[in-house]
Amino acid sequence: MANRKKRGRDLHGLFVLNKPLGMSSNQALQRVKYLFNAKKAGHTGTLDPLATGVLVVCFGRATKAAEHIVASSKTYYVRAKLGQKTTTGDAEGELIAESEVTAEQHLQLKSVAAQFVGEIEQIPPMFSALKHDGQPLYKLAREGIEIEREARKVSIYAIKSIVQDSLENTFDMVVDCSKGTYMRTLVEDMGEALGCGAHIHILQRSRVGGFEKSMTIDELEQLQQTPGTDIARLLQPLEMAFAEYPKLIVKEGLLQLLSAGKELSLMATNDSPFVAIYNTNGIFRGLGHVNNDGSVKFQNFSAHLMQI
């Protein structure tokens, strides 16, 4: 049987969604794809149904840059409950342990939080989208199966804006972190360090790389239904996917050599694995890979990126 042609528009670019509470990342993606009537779309990093906030949706050729957005640093707003541990590490799980939270533990919170800033090791939670033999861990967890997980190194760049409510035994914080950091694990580990346990009540991702300003599905639907409005104008340019990489200005003659597959010594260091390459007029021309010796080579999909 011949493959059916995918329906929808050929759109290329990035849309920043404010994912709603209670909806999976894939459900949110499918809704956005439908509203844009797009042929091809993908998201850039799973958010739990409990979590809200920034979810970058890639359309068309922009999906080739998804891995770079996933690798970006992130910022989360967290509200956590002290004195209670749950099966899932969040408010949706069953209560498995409860203890009194002392005044001393409240006083120790900020100093304990400071201990988690820097490069740390985390054991991924069972209630996560990580896979074991093709099965997401959260599905195994729901069946009562627990798999041994290896600790992973992640970086917490800052834990700030800590506000405590000693009457409710809650605290709010804002966390800047690297890719792969689990907020529920951070909160549980902080609770263990305090000696009273803790779990997440509210989780909102407020930034992914250079993406902060986002739009809700309701707002998108209202615009989509407004006569004379093409919501495709909301799509952001692909270069935003590389906002955290150094910007490299390259003259036209050298750009032609890069396009021909040449490696050029354009960098003094290799502190970053990639650079965003622009011409002298400030126009984005593609992504460059930085080799160990500091030389730069165009990524193999740069030609496609420049067509967006």
Instruction: Give the residue ranges of DSSP H helices in 171-248.
Output: 183-194, 217-224
Residue 8 has pLDDT above 70, yes or no: yes
Q: Which of 48, 90, 176, 189 is catalytic?
A: 48
- Of 90-99, 136-145, 154-163, the one with minimum mean pLDDT is 136-145
- Of 121-130, 194-203, 209-218, 291-300, the one with minimum mean pLDDT is 121-130
CATH, domain range 74-208: 3.30.2350.10
**32 and 17 in contact (C-beta within 8 Å)?**
yes
CATH, domain range 245-305: 2.30.130.10
pLDDT of residue 149: 78
Burial class (CB in 10 A: 0-12, 13-18, 19+), 36: buried
pLDDT of residue 6: 65
List pLDDT tens digits, range 109-131: 999 999 999 999 998 876 666 66
Cα 64 to Cα 32, 61, 164, 181, distances in angstroms: 18, 6, 42, 23
HSE (CB half, 13 Å, CA atoms) of 159?
A: 25
List pLDDT tens digits, range 22-34: 999 999 999 999 9
pLDDT of residue 266: 85
**85 and 199 in contact (C-beta within 8 Å)?**
yes
pLDDT of residue 136: 67
Residue 289 has pLDDT above 80, yes or no: yes
pLDDT of residue 240: 93
pLDDT of residue 28: 96
- Of 42-46, 91-95, 169-173, 185-189, the one with minimum mean pLDDT is 42-46
Nearest to 204 by CA among 194, 214, 196: 214
- Main-chain phi, psi angles of 106, to 5 degrees: -60, -40
**89 and 124 in contact (C-beta within 8 Å)?**
no
Equal CATH topology for 13-71+210-237 and 74-208: yes
SS3 168: coil
Nearest to 303 by CA among 276, 283, 285: 285
Q: What percent of the chain has pLDDT over 90?
A: 74
Among this protein's residues, is 48 annotated catalytic?
Answer: yes
- Main-chain phi, psi angles of 54, to 5 degrees: -65, 120
Place of tokens 């740069």: 302
Residue 4 has pLDDT above 60, yes or no: no
Q: How many helices (DSSP H) and strands (DSSP E) are in the chain? A: 8, 16
Q: How many residues does the chain have?
A: 308
When the pLDDT of each residue in the chain is averaged and rounded to a whole number, the result is 90
The domain limits of the chain are 13-71+210-237, 74-208, 245-305
Which tokens sit at 170?
């809650």
Query: Domain 13-71+210-237 class?
Result: alpha beta
- Of 53-67, 166-180, 199-213, 266-280, the one with minimum mean pLDDT is 266-280
Residue 254 has pLDDT above 80, yes or no: yes
